[in-house]
Each structure stands twice: as structure tokens, then as C-alpha cells.
Amino acid sequence: MCRSIKTLRPPMTPDVHDDDIRAAALQYVRKISGFRAPAAHNREVFDAAVDAVTAATAALLDGLEIRGAATPAATSG
């Protein structure tokens, strides 16, 4: 797979931002499609795929339970 996609799950990457998730999604779609930048006639489907992978990645990271890690509810006052 694409070696430039870094692990985003806590605690390996404690501060994951939307830009990090989108960059990973873009790298994934580039690898799968074989296009670094799609032609104009493929732009819409390429961008839609990046959006879908971004959303799926965010949902995955939000839903993961990491053993031994503090949950957001446990860390707030």
C-alpha cells in the first residue's frame, strides 16, 4: 500500500486534524486510481472518492476505542 500514509490513531498520533485525515484520503485515492492529479473528466469522481474516504476515516477514528487511553468524557472536568 501507500507508504506515505501515516498512522493516525491515538496514541500513536495524539493530535489528528482534519487536514491530516484529508491528506491520507487523498494519498489513498491517488494510489488506488493511479492518478496523482486526475484529468478534468475524472475530477468530479476523484474528488467524491477523496470526500468519501475522508468521511470514512474520520468515522473510524472517532469510533475506535483504544485500551488504556483516556476517553474524552473521562478527561473533561
Residue 75 pLDDT greater than 50, yes or no:
no
CA distances from 24 to 15, 33, 36, 41 (A): 15, 14, 13, 23
Task: Give the three cell numbers for residue 53.
Answer: 474516504
Residue 52 pLDDT greater than 70, yes or no:
yes
Residue 74 pLDDT greater than 60, yes or no:
no
Regarding predicted confidence, which is higher, 23 or 71? 23
Q: Where are the domains of the chain?
A: 18-61
Regarding predicted confidence, which is higher, 15 or 31? 31
pTM of the model: 0.76
